[in-house]
Amino acid sequence: MKVAVVQFKASTSKEINLQKIISYISKAAANHATLCAFPEFMMFYTNSKQTPKQLAELAETIHGNFVTQIAKTAKENHIQVIGSFYEKSKKKNRVYDTSFIINEFGKVISTYRKIHLYDALGFRESDKMAPGSKITKPVNTSIGKTGMMICYDLRFPEMSRSLALTGSEILVAPSAWVKGNMKEDHWITINKTRAIENGCYVISPDQVGNIYCGRSLVVDPYGKILLDMKKKQGISYVTINLDKVKQTRKTLPLLKNRKPTSYSL
């Protein structure tokens, strides 16, 4: 199956970004992709000057205009979409960083609230965001059984392993990976490792520009990088073959060879 991966620089304007997103979805469908995946913070770029209150006021529910317009476009183009948005929360001046999967009929079939907030290397996402509390079970998509992660989640192997053990053949991680010392090396290494150790595809659309490094990746179950978008904005395509997952998990049966009863200390 053909997947479209979008890498772009989000502006601070929700409306401008939404029009870009709609255009990318239509383009992906015209190029016969069955699914189009977007990066984290695609809704808009929030800089350090934006207060938690200002961010919360711009956030929406899953039934708000932002996701509704994307779902409408997905239905019109008969394509599935994976993306993210700032979701309103009940906690004052905090939002959820939430990803979603929309099917080709315009229905939201899965949502996931980012569990691991990026409170590291001088950043504190928890100053503006509330963490999710649970992993979302993988769902069937056009490209295979898909598990959702978001950016910093990639640094925590327990999460990807849990998703793989519950059937994920694909891990999709919308990201906005911040630039910094060794950060691109970490990014590439972690994406490859999550793919290798779980025998699955990893699709990680990333933001580029502002404070983010780009390098959107697709890695196959054996650790081969099928796509690296470097620093360019735009859309790229990769073909996913689930036979590769089956073959890899058969010849390198890491999930099967686990010994969880021996791991407790």
pLDDT of 228: 98
**137-183: pLDDT as tens digits:** 999 999 999 999 999 999 999 999 999 999 999 999 999 999 999 99
CB neighbours of residue 224 within 10 Å: 12
- Where residue 122 falls among pLDDT bands split at 50, 70, 90? very high
Distances, alpha carbon 139 to alpha carbons 68, 144, 172, in Å: 20, 8, 12
Please provide the size of the chain in residues: 265
In the chain, the domains with their CATH numbers are 2-252 (3.60.110.10)
DSSP helix/strand/coil, 99? strand
Residues of the chain above pLDDT 70, percent: 100
**3-49: pLDDT as tens digits:** 999 999 999 999 999 999 999 999 999 999 999 999 999 999 999 89
Q: Over 90: is that where the pLDDT of 112 sits? A: yes
pLDDT of 134: 97
CB neighbours of residue 253 within 10 Å: 11
Which sign does the torsion angle of CA 180, 184, 185, 189 carry? positive
- Where residue 265 falls among pLDDT bands split at 50, 70, 90? confident
Which tokens hold the place of 74? 């997905």
Which tokens hold the place of 191? 């994406």
